[in-house]
Protein backbone atom coordinates (compact mmCIF):
# COMPACT_ATOMS: atom_id res chain seq x y z
CA UNK A 1 0.00 0.00 0.00
CA UNK A 2 1.32 3.44 -0.89
CA UNK A 3 0.14 5.01 2.38
CA UNK A 4 0.91 8.71 1.73
CA UNK A 5 -0.79 8.57 -1.66
CA UNK A 6 -3.84 6.62 -0.50
CA UNK A 7 -4.24 8.64 2.69
CA UNK A 8 -4.25 11.93 0.82
CA UNK A 9 -6.63 10.51 -1.79
CA UNK A 10 -9.04 9.46 1.00
CA UNK A 11 -8.90 12.83 2.74
CA UNK A 12 -9.60 14.52 -0.58
CA UNK A 13 -12.41 12.13 -1.42
CA UNK A 14 -14.11 12.81 1.94
CA UNK A 15 -13.66 16.58 1.62
CA UNK A 16 -16.79 18.70 1.40
CA UNK A 17 -17.58 22.40 1.01
CA UNK A 18 -20.85 23.83 2.35
CA UNK A 19 -21.71 27.52 2.56
CA UNK A 20 -18.09 28.45 1.95
CA UNK A 21 -16.79 26.14 4.72
CA UNK A 22 -14.48 23.25 3.90
CA UNK A 23 -14.33 20.15 6.12
CA UNK A 24 -13.77 16.40 5.90
CA UNK A 25 -16.41 13.78 6.68
CA UNK A 26 -15.05 10.75 8.62
CA UNK A 27 -16.76 8.31 6.23
CA UNK A 28 -19.06 8.83 3.31
CA UNK A 29 -22.50 7.37 4.09
CA UNK A 30 -22.17 6.39 7.75
CA UNK A 31 -20.64 9.66 9.02
CA UNK A 32 -21.71 12.39 6.57
CA UNK A 33 -21.07 15.41 8.85
CA UNK A 34 -18.18 17.13 10.58
CA UNK A 35 -17.04 15.74 13.96
CA UNK A 36 -14.86 17.62 16.44
CA UNK A 37 -12.02 15.28 17.29
CA UNK A 38 -12.08 13.69 13.83
CA UNK A 39 -11.48 17.11 12.31
CA UNK A 40 -8.56 17.64 14.68
CA UNK A 41 -7.09 14.34 13.45
CA UNK A 42 -7.63 15.43 9.84
CA UNK A 43 -5.93 18.76 10.54
CA UNK A 44 -2.96 17.01 12.17
CA UNK A 45 -2.45 14.77 9.13
CA UNK A 46 -3.15 17.53 6.60
CA UNK A 47 -0.81 19.99 8.35
CA UNK A 48 2.13 18.50 6.48
CA UNK A 49 0.32 17.45 3.28
CA UNK A 50 -2.02 20.35 2.55
CA UNK A 51 -1.76 22.99 5.28
CA UNK A 52 -4.44 25.18 3.74
CA UNK A 53 -6.92 22.33 3.98
CA UNK A 54 -5.83 21.77 7.60
CA UNK A 55 -6.57 25.42 8.39
CA UNK A 56 -9.94 25.21 6.64
CA UNK A 57 -10.83 22.20 8.79
CA UNK A 58 -10.22 24.23 11.98
CA UNK A 59 -12.02 27.32 10.69
CA UNK A 60 -15.15 25.34 9.81
CA UNK A 61 -15.11 23.62 13.22
CA UNK A 62 -14.85 26.93 15.06
CA UNK A 63 -17.53 28.56 12.92
CA UNK A 64 -20.28 26.97 15.01
CA UNK A 65 -18.81 27.62 18.45
CA UNK A 66 -21.51 28.35 21.04
CA UNK A 67 -21.68 31.79 22.73
CA UNK A 68 -20.45 30.17 25.96
CA UNK A 69 -17.36 28.78 24.19
CA UNK A 70 -18.44 25.16 23.70
CA UNK A 71 -17.45 23.59 20.39
CA UNK A 72 -20.12 21.06 19.37
CA UNK A 73 -19.14 17.49 18.55
CA UNK A 74 -21.09 17.41 15.30
CA UNK A 75 -21.89 20.06 12.72
CA UNK A 76 -24.70 18.82 10.49
CA UNK A 77 -23.57 20.67 7.39
CA UNK A 78 -25.80 18.65 5.11
CA UNK A 79 -29.02 16.81 5.70
CA UNK A 80 -28.22 13.17 6.38
CA UNK A 81 -29.77 10.82 8.91
CA UNK A 82 -30.68 13.13 11.78
CA UNK A 83 -32.89 10.45 13.31
CA UNK A 84 -29.76 8.43 14.08
CA UNK A 85 -27.18 11.07 14.85
CA UNK A 86 -29.22 13.98 16.14
CA UNK A 87 -27.52 14.67 19.45
CA UNK A 88 -28.96 18.12 19.98
CA UNK A 89 -31.87 20.40 19.38
CA UNK A 90 -31.30 20.47 15.67
CA UNK A 91 -31.04 24.25 15.89
CA UNK A 92 -28.12 26.03 14.31
CA UNK A 93 -27.27 22.70 12.71
CA UNK A 94 -25.15 21.26 15.48
CA UNK A 95 -25.22 18.81 18.37
CA UNK A 96 -25.38 20.09 21.96
CA UNK A 97 -22.48 18.12 23.39
CA UNK A 98 -18.72 18.29 22.85
CA UNK A 99 -15.82 15.86 22.28
CA UNK A 100 -12.20 15.46 23.48
CA UNK A 101 -10.49 18.86 23.25
CA UNK A 102 -7.77 18.21 20.66
CA UNK A 103 -8.10 21.66 19.06
CA UNK A 104 -5.00 23.34 20.51
CA UNK A 105 -2.86 20.35 19.55
CA UNK A 106 -4.13 20.42 15.96
CA UNK A 107 -3.65 24.18 15.65
CA UNK A 108 -0.11 23.91 17.00
CA UNK A 109 0.77 21.18 14.47
CA UNK A 110 -0.34 23.54 11.70
CA UNK A 111 1.83 26.29 13.13
CA UNK A 112 4.81 23.97 13.54
CA UNK A 113 4.62 22.99 9.87
CA UNK A 114 3.83 26.42 8.40
CA UNK A 115 5.18 28.99 10.87
CA UNK A 116 1.96 30.91 10.17
CA UNK A 117 1.56 33.19 13.18
CA UNK A 118 -1.35 35.08 11.64
CA UNK A 119 -3.36 31.84 11.70
CA UNK A 120 -2.60 31.46 15.41
CA UNK A 121 -3.73 35.03 16.05
CA UNK A 122 -6.91 34.39 14.10
CA UNK A 123 -8.03 31.27 15.97
CA UNK A 124 -6.57 31.96 19.42
CA UNK A 125 -9.55 33.83 20.97
CA UNK A 126 -11.86 30.96 20.05
CA UNK A 127 -9.44 28.34 21.33
CA UNK A 128 -9.09 30.15 24.62
CA UNK A 129 -12.87 30.47 24.93
CA UNK A 130 -13.30 26.71 24.40
CA UNK A 131 -10.81 25.76 27.13
CA UNK A 132 -12.24 28.43 29.43
CA UNK A 133 -15.66 26.91 28.88
CA UNK A 134 -14.40 23.44 29.82
CA UNK A 135 -12.65 24.66 32.95
CA UNK A 136 -15.35 27.14 33.91
CA UNK A 137 -18.56 25.25 33.14
CA UNK A 138 -17.64 21.58 33.22
CA UNK A 139 -16.23 21.70 36.73
CA UNK A 140 -19.02 23.18 38.85
CA UNK A 141 -17.51 21.91 42.10
CA UNK A 142 -14.17 23.55 41.30
CA UNK A 143 -12.31 20.30 41.77
CA UNK A 144 -10.24 20.78 38.61
CA UNK A 145 -11.58 17.78 36.73
CA UNK A 146 -13.72 18.30 33.68
CA UNK A 147 -16.93 16.27 33.46
CA UNK A 148 -18.71 14.81 30.45
CA UNK A 149 -22.51 14.65 30.24
CA UNK A 150 -22.80 11.85 27.68
CA UNK A 151 -20.53 8.88 26.81
CA UNK A 152 -20.35 10.25 23.27
CA UNK A 153 -18.43 13.24 24.59
CA UNK A 154 -15.55 10.84 25.26
CA UNK A 155 -15.54 9.79 21.61
CA UNK A 156 -15.85 6.17 22.82
CA UNK A 157 -19.62 5.94 22.54
CA UNK A 158 -20.38 2.50 24.03
CA UNK A 159 -17.23 1.94 26.08
CA UNK A 160 -17.98 -0.26 29.11
CA UNK A 161 -16.32 2.40 31.29
CA UNK A 162 -19.74 4.05 31.21
CA UNK A 163 -21.95 1.02 31.89
CA UNK A 164 -22.43 1.71 35.59
CA UNK A 165 -23.22 5.44 35.36
CA UNK A 166 -25.47 4.71 32.39
CA UNK A 167 -27.22 1.92 34.30
CA UNK A 168 -26.68 -0.83 31.70
CA UNK A 169 -25.37 -4.40 31.98
CA UNK A 170 -22.10 -5.55 30.47
CA UNK A 171 -23.81 -7.84 27.94
CA UNK A 172 -25.93 -5.03 26.48
CA UNK A 173 -26.28 -5.03 22.68
CA UNK A 174 -25.07 -2.20 20.48
CA UNK A 175 -28.60 -1.05 19.64
CA UNK A 176 -29.87 -1.03 23.21
CA UNK A 177 -26.82 0.94 24.16
CA UNK A 178 -27.52 3.49 21.42
CA UNK A 179 -31.11 3.69 22.60
CA UNK A 180 -29.95 4.34 26.18
CA UNK A 181 -27.62 7.14 25.03
CA UNK A 182 -30.41 8.72 23.02
CA UNK A 183 -32.63 8.55 26.08
CA UNK A 184 -29.89 10.41 27.94
CA UNK A 185 -29.92 13.10 25.25
CA UNK A 186 -33.68 13.44 25.74
CA UNK A 187 -33.17 13.72 29.51
CA UNK A 188 -30.53 16.38 28.96
CA UNK A 189 -32.92 18.25 26.70
CA UNK A 190 -35.30 18.51 29.62
CA UNK A 191 -32.61 20.25 31.67
CA UNK A 192 -31.79 22.32 28.60
CA UNK A 193 -28.20 21.01 28.48
CA UNK A 194 -27.52 23.17 31.50
CA UNK A 195 -24.36 21.40 32.50
CA UNK A 196 -24.66 21.59 36.25
CA UNK A 197 -28.27 20.45 36.37
CA UNK A 198 -27.89 17.78 33.72
CA UNK A 199 -24.77 16.43 35.33
CA UNK A 200 -26.15 16.07 38.81
CA UNK A 201 -29.36 14.48 37.56
CA UNK A 202 -28.35 12.28 34.68
CA UNK A 203 -24.75 11.41 33.88
CA UNK A 204 -21.54 12.92 35.18
CA UNK A 205 -18.22 11.24 34.49
CA UNK A 206 -14.73 12.56 34.96
CA UNK A 207 -13.18 10.59 32.14
CA UNK A 208 -9.48 9.76 32.04
CA UNK A 209 -8.72 10.17 28.31
CA UNK A 210 -10.79 13.38 28.13
CA UNK A 211 -8.92 14.94 31.06
CA UNK A 212 -5.51 13.64 29.91
CA UNK A 213 -6.15 15.14 26.46
CA UNK A 214 -7.18 18.36 28.20
CA UNK A 215 -3.90 18.47 30.16
CA UNK A 216 -1.82 18.05 26.99
CA UNK A 217 -3.88 20.65 25.15
CA UNK A 218 -3.65 23.18 27.99
CA UNK A 219 0.12 22.76 27.87
CA UNK A 220 0.01 23.55 24.15
CA UNK A 221 -2.45 26.41 24.62
CA UNK A 222 0.16 27.83 27.00
CA UNK A 223 2.80 27.67 24.22
CA UNK A 224 0.45 29.38 21.79
CA UNK A 225 -0.49 32.10 24.28
CA UNK A 226 3.11 32.82 25.17
CA UNK A 227 4.15 32.98 21.51
CA UNK A 228 1.40 35.56 21.03
CA UNK A 229 2.51 37.36 24.21
CA UNK A 230 -0.93 36.89 25.72
CA UNK A 231 0.02 36.84 29.38
CA UNK A 232 -3.41 36.15 30.80
CA UNK A 233 -3.87 33.19 28.47
CA UNK A 234 -0.43 31.83 29.34
CA UNK A 235 -1.25 32.06 33.01
CA UNK A 236 -4.68 30.44 32.59
CA UNK A 237 -3.32 27.54 30.55
CA UNK A 238 -0.24 26.76 32.63
CA UNK A 239 -2.08 27.04 35.95
CA UNK A 240 -4.98 24.84 34.89
CA UNK A 241 -2.71 22.32 33.25
CA UNK A 242 -1.08 21.81 36.65
CA UNK A 243 -4.37 21.81 38.54
CA UNK A 244 -6.06 19.21 36.30
CA UNK A 245 -2.97 17.00 36.36
CA UNK A 246 -2.84 17.19 40.17
CA UNK A 247 -6.56 16.48 40.50
CA UNK A 248 -6.27 13.44 38.24
CA UNK A 249 -3.52 12.16 40.47
CA UNK A 250 -5.47 12.87 43.63
CA UNK A 251 -8.86 11.51 42.60
CA UNK A 252 -8.41 9.12 39.67
CA UNK A 253 -5.17 7.26 40.45
CA UNK A 254 -5.30 3.92 42.25
CA UNK A 255 -3.21 0.72 42.13
CA UNK A 256 -0.73 2.20 39.68
CA UNK A 257 -3.27 3.25 37.03
CA UNK A 258 -5.82 5.98 36.29
CA UNK A 259 -9.56 5.18 36.41
CA UNK A 260 -12.48 7.32 35.29
CA UNK A 261 -14.90 8.33 38.05
CA UNK A 262 -18.54 9.25 38.31
CA UNK A 263 -20.83 11.42 40.42
CA UNK A 264 -20.07 14.00 43.09
CA UNK A 265 -18.27 11.40 45.16
CA UNK A 266 -15.79 10.31 42.51
CA UNK A 267 -16.83 6.67 42.46
CA UNK A 268 -14.05 4.94 40.49
CA UNK A 269 -15.30 3.03 37.46
CA UNK A 270 -13.12 -0.05 37.70
CA UNK A 271 -13.30 -1.27 34.13
CA UNK A 272 -9.86 -1.82 32.59
CA UNK A 273 -9.72 -0.10 29.19
CA UNK A 274 -7.04 1.61 27.11
CA UNK A 275 -7.83 4.67 29.31
CA UNK A 276 -5.02 3.32 31.53
CA UNK A 277 -2.57 4.24 28.76
CA UNK A 278 -4.07 7.60 27.70
CA UNK A 279 -2.28 9.55 30.49
CA UNK A 280 1.06 8.66 28.83
CA UNK A 281 0.04 11.23 26.19
CA UNK A 282 0.15 13.96 28.85
CA UNK A 283 3.15 12.76 30.87
CA UNK A 284 0.98 11.90 33.87
CA UNK A 285 2.88 8.79 35.01
CA UNK A 286 6.38 8.90 36.50
CA UNK A 287 8.98 6.95 34.55
CA UNK A 288 8.83 4.11 37.11
CA UNK A 289 5.04 4.00 37.06
CA UNK A 290 5.09 3.97 33.27
CA UNK A 291 7.54 1.07 33.26
CA UNK A 292 5.28 -0.93 35.56
CA UNK A 293 2.22 -0.02 33.44
CA UNK A 294 3.93 -1.27 30.29
CA UNK A 295 5.02 -4.49 31.94
CA UNK A 296 1.81 -5.36 33.76
CA UNK A 297 -0.79 -4.08 31.33
CA UNK A 298 0.42 -2.93 27.91
CA UNK A 299 2.53 -6.01 27.21
CA UNK A 300 0.10 -8.40 28.87
CA UNK A 301 -1.33 -10.66 26.18
CA UNK A 302 -4.09 -11.90 28.49
CA UNK A 303 -5.51 -8.41 28.80
CA UNK A 304 -4.48 -5.67 26.34
CA UNK A 305 -1.78 -6.79 23.94
CA UNK A 306 -3.24 -8.59 20.93
CA UNK A 307 -1.76 -9.95 17.70
CA UNK A 308 -3.06 -6.81 15.91
CA UNK A 309 -2.49 -4.07 18.42
CA UNK A 310 -3.84 -2.91 21.78
CA UNK A 311 -7.42 -3.86 22.66
CA UNK A 312 -9.56 -0.91 23.75
CA UNK A 313 -10.95 -3.12 26.55
CA UNK A 314 -9.14 -5.85 28.49
CA UNK A 315 -9.84 -9.32 27.12
CA UNK A 316 -10.55 -10.46 30.67
CA UNK A 317 -13.51 -8.09 31.04
CA UNK A 318 -16.97 -9.71 30.80
CA UNK A 319 -17.92 -6.88 28.42
CA UNK A 320 -15.05 -7.63 26.01
CA UNK A 321 -16.22 -8.24 22.44
CA UNK A 322 -13.65 -8.37 19.67
CA UNK A 323 -16.15 -6.85 17.21
CA UNK A 324 -18.03 -4.74 19.77
CA UNK A 325 -17.37 -1.16 18.58
CA UNK A 326 -15.71 0.50 21.64
CA UNK A 327 -16.01 -2.71 23.71
CA UNK A 328 -12.73 -4.27 22.64
CA UNK A 329 -11.66 -3.70 19.03
CA UNK A 330 -8.54 -1.84 17.98
CA UNK A 331 -9.13 1.76 16.89
CA UNK A 332 -6.42 3.81 15.19
CA UNK A 333 -6.85 7.03 17.23
CA UNK A 334 -6.10 5.28 20.57
CA UNK A 335 -3.09 3.68 18.86
CA UNK A 336 -1.93 7.16 17.83
CA UNK A 337 -2.41 8.65 21.34
CA UNK A 338 -0.53 5.77 22.95
CA UNK A 339 2.20 5.94 20.30
CA UNK A 340 2.83 9.64 20.99
CA UNK A 341 3.01 8.99 24.72
CA UNK A 342 5.33 6.00 24.40
CA UNK A 343 7.67 7.92 22.09
CA UNK A 344 7.88 10.79 24.58
CA UNK A 345 8.73 8.37 27.41
CA UNK A 346 11.32 6.60 25.23
CA UNK A 347 9.52 3.23 25.04
CA UNK A 348 10.70 2.57 21.51
CA UNK A 349 9.77 -1.11 21.23
CA UNK A 350 6.20 -0.55 22.33
CA UNK A 351 5.84 2.49 20.06
CA UNK A 352 7.21 0.43 17.15
CA UNK A 353 4.70 -2.32 17.95
CA UNK A 354 1.83 0.18 17.66
CA UNK A 355 3.12 1.62 14.43
CA UNK A 356 3.72 -1.78 12.85
CA UNK A 357 0.38 -3.19 13.92
CA UNK A 358 -1.38 -0.07 12.60
CA UNK A 359 0.36 -0.39 9.25
CA UNK A 360 -0.39 -4.07 9.02
CA UNK A 361 -4.08 -3.49 9.78
CA UNK A 362 -4.29 -0.92 7.00
CA UNK A 363 -2.41 -3.18 4.63
CA UNK A 364 -4.63 -6.13 5.41
CA UNK A 365 -8.06 -4.56 5.82
CA UNK A 366 -7.82 -1.01 4.41
CA UNK A 367 -9.17 2.20 5.97
CA UNK A 368 -11.81 0.56 8.13
CA UNK A 369 -13.42 2.11 11.21
CA UNK A 370 -12.19 -0.45 13.78
CA UNK A 371 -10.48 -3.83 13.73
CA UNK A 372 -10.56 -7.28 15.26
CA UNK A 373 -7.59 -7.42 17.66
CA UNK A 374 -7.25 -11.18 17.20
CA UNK A 375 -7.56 -11.54 13.40
CA UNK A 376 -7.03 -8.05 11.98
CA UNK A 377 -10.42 -8.15 10.21
CA UNK A 378 -11.89 -4.72 9.49
CA UNK A 379 -15.30 -3.66 10.84
CA UNK A 380 -17.69 -0.72 10.56
CA UNK A 381 -17.40 2.09 8.05
CA UNK A 382 -15.22 1.76 4.97
CA UNK A 383 -12.95 4.59 3.82
CA UNK A 384 -12.87 5.88 7.40
CA UNK A 385 -10.31 8.66 7.84
CA UNK A 386 -8.64 7.73 11.14
CA UNK A 387 -6.22 5.34 9.40
CA UNK A 388 -4.53 8.39 7.89
CA UNK A 389 -3.11 9.10 11.38
CA UNK A 390 -0.57 6.37 10.57
CA UNK A 391 1.20 9.06 8.52
CA UNK A 392 1.84 10.94 11.76
CA UNK A 393 3.53 7.95 13.42
CA UNK A 394 7.04 8.62 12.17
CA UNK A 395 9.26 9.06 15.23
CA UNK A 396 10.24 5.40 15.59
Query: By the criterion CB under 6 A, which residues form the site for ligand GLC?
Result: 26, 31, 35, 37-38, 155, 157
Q: Is 171 a catalytic residue?
A: no
As measured in angstroms, the least distance from the Cβ of 31 to ligand GLC is 5
As measured in angstroms, the least distance from the Cβ of 38 to ligand GLC is 5
Q: Is the Cβ of residue 31 or residue 236 nearer to ligand GLC in the bound state?
A: 31
Q: Are 23 and 77 in contact (CB under 8 A)?
A: yes
Q: Is 323 a catalytic residue?
A: no
As measured in angstroms, the least distance from the Cβ of 157 to ligand GLC is 4
DSSP letters for 316-384: TSTT--TTSTTSS-B-HHHHHHHHHHHHHHT-HHHHHHHHHHHHHHHHHH-S-SEE-TTT--EES-SS-
Find the Cα–Cα–Cα–Cα dihedral 278, 280, 285, 289, rounded to 10°. 90
As measured in angstroms, the least distance from the Cβ of 152 to ligand GLC is 7
Q: Is the Cβ of residue 25 or residue 120 nearer to ligand GLC in the bound state?
A: 25
As measured in angstroms, the least distance from the Cβ of 277 to ligand GLC is 17
Q: Is the Cβ of residue 136 or residue 380 nearer to ligand GLC in the bound state?
A: 380
Distance CA 24, CA 34 (A): 6
Q: Is the Cβ of residue 133 or residue 325 nearer to ligand GLC in the bound state?
A: 325
Q: Quickly list H helices, 16-149.
A: 36-49, 51-62, 82-85, 103-114, 117-137
Measured from the Cβ of residue 268, the count of other Cβ atoms closer than 10 Å reads 16
Distance CA 38, CA 392 (A): 14
Q: Which of these is catalytic: 153, 207, 369, 383?
A: 369
Q: Are 366 and 378 in contact (CB under 8 A)?
A: yes
Residues 37, 107, 57, CA angle at the centre, nearest 5°?
60
Q: What's the per-residue H, E or C state across 71-87?
A: CCCEECCCCCCHHHHCC
Q: Which of these is catalytic: 6, 157, 296, 374?
A: 157
As measured in angstroms, the least distance from the Cβ of 115 to ligand GLC is 30
Q: Are 364 and 376 in contact (CB under 8 A)?
A: yes
The total number of residues shown for the chain amounts to 396
Catalogue the active-site residues. Answer: 157, 369
Amino acid sequence: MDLPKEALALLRKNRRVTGGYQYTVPAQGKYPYQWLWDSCFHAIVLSSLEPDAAKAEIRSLLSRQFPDGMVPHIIFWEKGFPHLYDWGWGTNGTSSITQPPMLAYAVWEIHKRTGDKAFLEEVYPKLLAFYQYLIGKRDPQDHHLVGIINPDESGEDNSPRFDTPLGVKSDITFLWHLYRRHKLVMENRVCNFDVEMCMSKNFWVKDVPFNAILVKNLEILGHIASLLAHNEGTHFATEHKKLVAAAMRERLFENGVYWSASDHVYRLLKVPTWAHFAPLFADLYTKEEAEALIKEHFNNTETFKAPFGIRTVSKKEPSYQRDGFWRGPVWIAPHWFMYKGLVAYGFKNEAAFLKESTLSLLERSGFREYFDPETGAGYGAKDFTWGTLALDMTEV
